[in-house]
């Protein structure tokens, strides 16, 4: 498993396990960053 996939999985798990709305959205910044800038990590 790559580090990027691990981050995506962790963000999904945190959102699924949270009991409140704030916790459910806690992984969104990571997911969004990977969506827009993840290719840069693969190239660099």
What's this model's pTM, rounded to 2 decimal places? Answer: 0.75
Backbone angles phi, psi at 34, to 5 degrees: -65, -35
d(CA 40, CA 23): 28
Q: What's the pLDDT score for residue 1?
A: 64
d(CA 34, CA 26): 14
Q: What's the pLDDT score for residue 10?
A: 95
Q: What's the pLDDT score for residue 38?
A: 81
pLDDT digits (tens, 9 = 90+) for 1-44: 688 899 999 999 999 999 999 999 999 999 999 999 887 876 76
Q: What's the pLDDT score for residue 44?
A: 62
Q: What's the pLDDT score for residue 2?
A: 85
d(CA 39, CA 43): 6
């Amino acid at each position: 498993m790559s580090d990027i996939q691990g981050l995506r999985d962790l963000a999904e798990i945190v959102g699924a396990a949270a009991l409140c709305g704030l916790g459910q959205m806690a992984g969104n910044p990571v997911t969004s960053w990977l969506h827009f800038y993840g290719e840069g990590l693969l190239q660099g």
